[in-house]
Chains A and B, each alone.
Chain A
Amino acid sequence: MSFRLKRAKSLPIYATLLLFTIGFAGFANAVFVEERLADPVSEERARNISEGIRCLVCQNQSIMDSNAGLAKDLRGIVRERVLAGDSDDQVRQFLVSRYGDWVLLNPPFKMQTLVLWLAPFVVLIFGGFLMIRFLRRKSADQIGKPPSEPLSTAEMAELDKLIAEDDSKRGQP
């Protein structure tokens, strides 16, 4: 009874929370959009590029996710470059020439990052090789061994007895 009462009382709180959640879900998308570009296609492009640009103050967030002052400035610059007619790569290059590859959340594939990109595959191949060798050796061991001894008559009798016992138990309701 008291439980029900409690639940009824907290209902308005839940409702408020729910409202807030829904309200902010729409809001969250628009939080860091200061001055949108008039052309929705360009705006979309600018946002897509921004998603891949690292905020240098709050590392590991994209400038789209960050409310740091620098992130805001960089978003402005991305929009400006898009408006100036730069291709996506040109916009990225503009930032890379100032902040280095680090500014890209996806490291580019080049000499310095070769190890980074190829290491997982090397590990996979090497690990696979070891695994295959291990399994081969194991099965070779099995093949070399004589088959295990058959059961003796005494053992057979014991086994039959156990099975019969089990069956009779299971037969009962």
Chain B
Amino acid sequence: MKLSFMTPILTFMVIAGVMFYALFYLDPKEIPSELLDKKAPSFALPAVPGYGDDLSSENLKEGKITLLNVFASWCVACLAEHPTLMELSRQGKIDIYGLNYKDKPEAAAKWLKRNGSPYKRTGMDLKGRVGIDFGVYGVPETFIMGPDGTILDKIIGPITEKDLKTRILPRLTGDAG
């Protein structure tokens, strides 16, 4: 067969296909979490003044699925997911804990006063050390915590409608407690 002239064309098409996939379907900003299916690192943090009780790693192992949401008053994208969290909190299906990342206590309190607080507990990670233990590299990030304090999933960036439907809600229906 004299089809060898097709070789460069086929090679090009394969490369183009791979690149097309990488360009539109892969997001280099989404770094898979190393901590998936591992226990949450232990920590204990004081609450944002006036907003819920203090937060420690013990609170993440109380036998139910919880959300650990990393937020900050300086984080613009956090506003985008805030209504979603407020709605989740209103429905009362899941406890949401707020990890206030590298923020000032007053600024965080002011932000929560203005936007409302979906958090049952909050913890101020003033220096970002707990964040680093959790592998946080941007805000917002949301960890879905298993009943025993295992990290089940991590949502990077604002929680979208799709994240809510495909990653958070399905876990709740399976979990009667």
Binding site for B on A (CB under 8 A): 56-57, 59, 69-70, 73-74, 77, 96-100, 102
Cβ–Cβ contact A98 & B31, under 8 A: no
Give residues of chain B (26-82) contacting chain A, Cβ–Cβ below 8 Å: 28-29, 31-35
Could you tell me the dominant secondary structure of chain A's interface residues? helix
Q: Which stretch of B12-20, B134-142, B158-166, B169-177 is in the interface?
A: B134-142
Cβ–Cβ contact B35 & A98, under 8 A: yes
Binding site for A on B (CB under 8 A): 28-29, 31-35, 102, 127-129, 132-135, 137-138
Min CB–CB distance A94 → chain B (angstroms): 10
Cβ–Cβ contact B137 & A56, under 8 A: yes
Min CB–CB distance B137 → chain A (angstroms): 4
18 CB contacts below 8 A, A to B, read: A56-B137, A57-B137, A57-B138, A59-B28, A69-B102, A70-B128, A70-B137, A96-B34, A97-B34, A98-B35, A98-B132, A98-B134, A99-B31, A99-B34, A99-B135, A100-B33, A100-B135, A102-B31
Task: Count A/B pairs, Cβ under 8 Å.
Answer: 37
In the bound complex, residues from chain B placing their C-beta under 8 Å from that of A100 are 31-34, 135
Q: What residue in chain B is nearest A54 (Cβ atoms)?
A: B31
Q: What residue in chain A is nearest B29 (Cβ atoms)?
A: A59
In the bound complex, residues from chain A placing their C-beta under 8 Å from that of B137 are 56-57, 70, 99
Min CB–CB distance A73 → chain B (angstroms): 5
In the bound complex, residues from chain B placing their C-beta under 8 Å from that of A73 are 127-129, 132
In the bound complex, residues from chain B placing their C-beta under 8 Å from that of A98 are 34-35, 132-135
Q: What residue in chain A is nearest B32 (Cβ atoms)?
A: A100
Min CB–CB distance A69 → chain B (angstroms): 7
Max chain A CB contacts within 10 Å: which of B28, B34, B134? Answer: B34
In the bound complex, residues from chain A placing their C-beta under 8 Å from that of B32 are 100, 102
In the bound complex, residues from chain B placing their C-beta under 8 Å from that of A74 are 132
Separation of A100 and B28 alpha carbons in the complex (Å): 14
In the bound complex, residues from chain A placing their C-beta under 8 Å from that of B28 are 59
Separation of A96 and B34 alpha carbons in the complex (Å): 8
Separation of A100 and B33 alpha carbons in the complex (Å): 7
Min CB–CB distance A57 → chain B (angstroms): 6
Q: What residue in chain B is nearest A76 (Cβ atoms)?
A: B127
Min CB–CB distance B147 → chain A (angstroms): 23
Min CB–CB distance B150 → chain A (angstroms): 16
In the bound complex, residues from chain A placing their C-beta under 8 Å from that of B31 are 56, 99-100, 102
Separation of A121 and B128 alpha carbons in the complex (Å): 43
Q: What residue in chain B is nearest A97 (Cβ atoms)?
A: B34
Separation of A57 and B136 alpha carbons in the complex (Å): 10
In the bound complex, residues from chain A placing their C-beta under 8 Å from that of B127 are 73
Cβ–Cβ contact A77 & B135, under 8 A: no
Min CB–CB distance A112 → chain B (angstroms): 11
Max chain A CB contacts within 10 Å: which of B29, B31, B33? Answer: B31
In the bound complex, residues from chain A placing their C-beta under 8 Å from that of B133 are 98
Min CB–CB distance B40 → chain A (angstroms): 12
Given contacts A69-B102, A70-B128, A74-B132, 14 further A-B contacts (CB under 8 A): A56-B31, A56-B137, A56-B138, A59-B28, A59-B29, A69-B128, A97-B34, A98-B35, A98-B133, A98-B134, A100-B32, A100-B135, A102-B31, A102-B32
